[in-house]
Structure 1
Amino acid sequence: MNRSRHQEVQFKVNNVVWQTLTFIRNSMSNGSLKSKHWRGVRLGVNIPSHATPRRSQPLAMTITWKPPDQPWLKLNTDGSFNESNGKAGGGCLIRDHSGRLMVAFALPLTAHSVLEAELLAMHHGLVMAKELAKPIWLEADAEQAIKLVEGKEWGHAHIRRTMVHLALHKWHLTLRTTFINREGNKAADLLVKMGLELSDRQVWDAQAAPRGLKDIIRMEQMGIPNIRV
């Protein structure tokens, strides 16, 4: 509690004590309160030395995946790295303006960090997106990776080869990039979990996609949001 706040509390407490003592004195003078009524009673007031911290309340917000405008295609990517076993994986999917799946894939990656896995997933996704000859909207839940792609820095030495590939994609593609919270990137998150368990890349179209992936895509087509706390 700061000094001014402490003084304010102390003033209010002193005022209450003064009013109480005045009431007792007046009651004794008119005979309504006698000494035997309050014999042994001790008035005590504890003034806190500091403010009790307030617990922060959880804030809930809705995260909604949004389709791109025509003629853009949206590429959602995700990458993961497991430090315990050194495995890395990537997941990507491309959807059109209606939210319809065009192609999705999951693959194992050779990476040494989560950041490198995220950047590699973006690279592989853009390689596939380039074949569709449309403007590409790259979206991912890796804020640091997005900032690297948008900026002019090359990052640490172990990611610079991948950064060169991404720079070439920026040169040859009509590309925009955005960050989305993980709750809005659930489809790519599902794919990356599959990529961690694969020994080779696996590709799906809209008909052959896994059931869980189809369910997520359908919900996002309907505009159903996810809750982030």
Structure 2
Amino acid sequence: MANGIYKKKHWKGVSLKITVPSHDELRSPRPLAVAIKWHPPDDPWIKLNTDGAFLEASDKAGGGDIIRDHTGKVLSAFASPLEAHSALEAELLAIQLGLELALEFNRPIWIESDAQQVVQLLNSTRWGPAHTSRVVARILLLNRQRVVRLTYTPREGNRAGDLLAKMGIDSQNYCRMNAHTMPRHLAAITRMEALGIPNIRVQHDDKE
């Protein structure tokens, strides 16, 4: 082998073995980062971001909504405890309270929620479960007073509403706020979203 030439005798007694990775190793999920932006409404519409939260262990619920105009300016917001006994009921009650607040501005209303089940329910002709049918009926009556549209957004596109809902669980009473009285954390979120800075959603892609 001094001259770099391999001969048959050099391979005598040598066996070759190849280890093939398992199917799972070849297709292991890879995390993906997706940018989710908050989109302002067109003038003269206002946008109502809404969220409801329910803690089954303590049977406590809270809701929070925020209303912004086409520039991203905060017109009003609230956080409140809710008399709800399911996540669905909390989401619906939050929308009801948000609509009542948004109607004060006498403009078309774009409602945005991260609860896909609620969006599908209110955009259909169904009433949903018996324990929420009264709330659905109230929402439909409120919708008749103004031009209203309802759409879904991922949770990362509803950070302001999510924060307010969590504040609502810990609140003792309904708390209404505006651009000058809202907490600094909420102000930071709305300022970032008004500038068009996206929030990042991390998900796992197991299709590749």
Q: Who is 1:111 aligned against?
A: 84
Aligned residue among 155, 161, 165 for 1:182: 155
- C-alpha separation between the residues in 1 aligned to 2:24 and 2:80? 53
- C-alpha separation between the residues in 2 aligned to 1:134 and 1:175? 9
Question: Which amino acid in 1 is paired with 2:61?
Answer: A
Higher relative contact order (CA 8 A, sep 6+): 2
TM-score by length of 2: 0.88
Aligned residue among 137, 146, 161 for 1:173: 146
Aligned residue among 170, 185, 192 for 1:219: 192
Q: Who is 1:93 aligned against?
A: 66
Aligned length: 198
SS class of match (1:227): strand
Q: Please state how far the C-alpha of 1:48 moved relative to its aligned partner.
A: 8.2
Question: Which amino acid in 2 is paired with 1:103?
Answer: S
Q: Who is 1:20 aligned against?
A: none
Q: Which protein is bigger by CA-based radius of gyration?
A: 1
Q: Please state how far the C-alpha of 1:151 moved relative to its aligned partner.
A: 0.8
Q: Who is 2:42 aligned against?
A: 69
Q: Please state how far the C-alpha of 1:46 moved relative to its aligned partner.
A: 6.8
Greater percentage in strand? 2
TM-score by length of 1: 0.80
RMSD: 2.0
Decide whether aligned partners of structure 1 residues 40 and 168 sit closer, same or farther in structure 2, where only a CA change above 3 A counts. same
- C-alpha separation between the residues in 1 aligned to 2:22 and 2:94? 54
Structure 2: which 5+ residue stretches go unaligned? Answer: 203-208
Q: Please state how far the C-alpha of 1:44 moved relative to its aligned partner.
A: 5.2
Decide whether aligned partners of structure 1 residues 90 and 45 sit closer, same or farther in structure 2, where only a CA change above 3 A counts. closer
- C-alpha separation between the residues in 2 aligned to 1:46 and 1:209? 60
Q: Please state how far the C-alpha of 1:205 moved relative to its aligned partner.
A: 1.5
Q: Please state how far the C-alpha of 1:35 moved relative to its aligned partner.
A: 6.3
- C-alpha separation between the residues in 1 aligned to 2:6 and 2:82? 86
1:144 aligns with 2:152: no
